Amino acid sequence: MAVNVCWVLIVLQALLVVLFAVYVRYEDNYDAMKYPLFQDIHVMLFVGFGFLMSFLKRYGFSSVGFTLLLASCIIQWAMLCQGFARLDDDYKIRMGIVSVYKADIAAGVILISTGAVLGRVSLMQLIAMGFLETVVYCINLHLGSEVLRAIDAGGSMFVHVFGAYFGLSVSIVIERTNNADASDEISLRTSNYSSDLFAMIGTLFLWLYWPSFNAVDLTGAEQQRAIINTYLSLAACCVLSFACSILTDNDKKLDMMHVQNATLAGGVAIGAVAGILKQPWVAVVIGSLAGIISVLGYAKLMPILETNFRLYDTCGVHNLHGMPGLLASVASAVIVGVTSETGPPDSLYQDLPGMNSSSDSRALKANLSVFGARKAGEQAGYQIAALTLTMTMAVIGGAITGKLYTG
């Protein structure tokens, strides 16, 4: 960390003070029930991501420390960016508990992208990427959830797909102009006994609190379903990822990286439909598929991408966030599509008891539209449209960011 980074941080923080002074005020409404869920997400972000990346023996302390620094910058910036999208009549941003967990989630997006390039870019580059990516993330989120009104309560598309492909796009661009030896890149990924246990602290807190992440925007029966669907998906994902890890290994041994990462893919894959899915067994199936896809990604696809395409992905975010996010997006289109709003009581997707609540969640608004103006098949199309938009924004945004680095 060089001296010029320090001055950049100080100037950025001063700018943030000015923007807060001009634009940000407090809201008086307070939904105290959201606070414990926010704290779970807060732990996921700082303990979860921080320690998960500490499996990199050479980056143990750095990954925890830099996660803290980077996320501390981004949460302030994200509050502003998200606030500008919904200014009050007096051109002020009203900030409440919702702003806070949404800021945490935005910082999570940046940490996902960071996972793709960790160890190969400087802290200054990470900070630049963070500020830029937050803007693109907010625009994409606004278009996807407010304009296309796609259903994505757990952020499978807007958080995981976006963060993963943005980071991968940065990674592939910087490698084009990087002469480092491939073996160097891969050697980053060495761990030891102690660093593997520290990483498990990250894994467990992500795994345990993921239901809060997928449910925080919802209320009532919808929130309960989001919690339990996520819980089931993660349990099934865990069983399948252990099994597949051994079956795909040449020596039939468990790969630590699979245990630390692939076990979490179930949380990503169920995110989009966590609140609306009324059949628990479907959550179990989606979680199982996510575990299989994620382990195959680590074991089979990643080496091919590295050797054939020079696509390096330090923490394997493509396997943990990218592909399970794609699975979630497709699953959301299928589930919405096969559901008739006049279906039988046990249809996958039906009128929701939570619909009468006062929640203004994105998912709920989207649901209302489904049962209002849109037909089921139509909504399925909008899910795919939102995925397409997200992929496009992420890849182009990442490529531009990467270009800025390499000049």
Site for a copy of itself in 136-195 (CB under 8 A): 193-194
Nearer to a copy of itself, 212 or 390 (CB): 212
Cα–Cα distance for residue pair 197/192, rounded to 1 Å: 9
With beta carbons less than 8 A apart as the criterion, state whether 272 and 332 touch: yes
Cα–Cα distance for residue pair 80/76, rounded to 1 Å: 7
**Given the rule CB under 8 A, which of 90-98, 144-152, 162-170, 299-307 is the region that contacts a copy of itself?**
90-98
- CB 377, min distance to a copy of itself, A: 24
Cα–Cα distance for residue pair 395/390, rounded to 1 Å: 9
Cα–Cα distance for residue pair 91/84, rounded to 1 Å: 9
Say whether residue 17 binds a copy of itself (CB under 8 A): yes
Q: Name which of residues 94 to 113 contact a copy of itself (CB under 8 A).
A: 95-97, 99-100
Question: Of the candidates 106, 150, 234, 299, which one interacts with a copy of itself according to CB under 8 A?
Answer: 234
Say whether residue 357 binds a copy of itself (CB under 8 A): no
Task: Give phi and psi for 219, each to the nearest 5.
Answer: -140, 165
Q: What does R_g of the chain's alpha carbons equal in angstroms?
A: 20
Binding mask 362-401 for a copy of itself (x = CB under 8 A): ----------------------------------------
Nearer to a copy of itself, 51 or 165 (CB): 51
Nearer to a copy of itself, 272 or 289 (CB): 289
Q: Name which of residues 24 to 83 contact a copy of itself (CB under 8 A).
A: 24-30, 32-33, 35-37, 39-40, 42-43, 46-47, 50, 54, 60-61, 64-65, 68-69, 72-73, 75-76
Task: Give phi and psi for 283, each to the nearest 5.
Answer: -65, -40
- CB 66, min distance to a copy of itself, A: 9
Q: Name which of residues 331 to 350 contact a copy of itself (CB under 8 A).
A: 346
Name every residue whose Cβ is closer than 8 Å to that of residue 400 and which is 6 or more positions away in sequence. none
Say whether residue 12 binds a copy of itself (CB under 8 A): yes
Nearer to a copy of itself, 222 or 313 (CB): 222
Report CA dihedral (377, 378, 382, 384) to the nearest 10 degrees. Answer: 30
- Classify each residue of 312-340 as buried b or exposed e, where b means 16 or more C-beta atoms within 10 Å of its C-beta: bbbbbbbbbbbbbbbbbbebbbebbbebe
For residue 288, give the nearest of 215, 235, 334 by alpha carbon: 235
Question: Of the candidates 135, 186, 188, 243, which one interacts with a copy of itself according to CB under 8 A?
Answer: 243
For residue 259, give the nearest of 229, 239, 230, 288 by alpha carbon: 239
Angle, to 10 degrees, between the axis of helix 3-23 and the axis of helix 60-84? Answer: 30
Nearer to a copy of itself, 51 or 162 (CB): 51
Name every residue whose Cβ is closer than 8 Å to that of residue 34 and which is 6 or more positions away in sequence. 97, 98, 101, 216
The number of angstroms, rounded, from the C-alpha of 318 to the middle of its chain's C-alpha atoms is 11
Binding mask 246-285 for a copy of itself (x = CB under 8 A): xx----xxx-x--x---x--------------xxxx--xx
Q: Name which of residues 191 to 220 contact a copy of itself (CB under 8 A).
A: 193-194, 196-198, 200-201, 204-205, 207-209, 212, 220
Question: Of the candidates 125, 224, 340, 347, which one interacts with a copy of itself according to CB under 8 A?
Answer: 224
Say whether residue 228 binds a copy of itself (CB under 8 A): yes
Nearer to a copy of itself, 52 or 161 (CB): 52
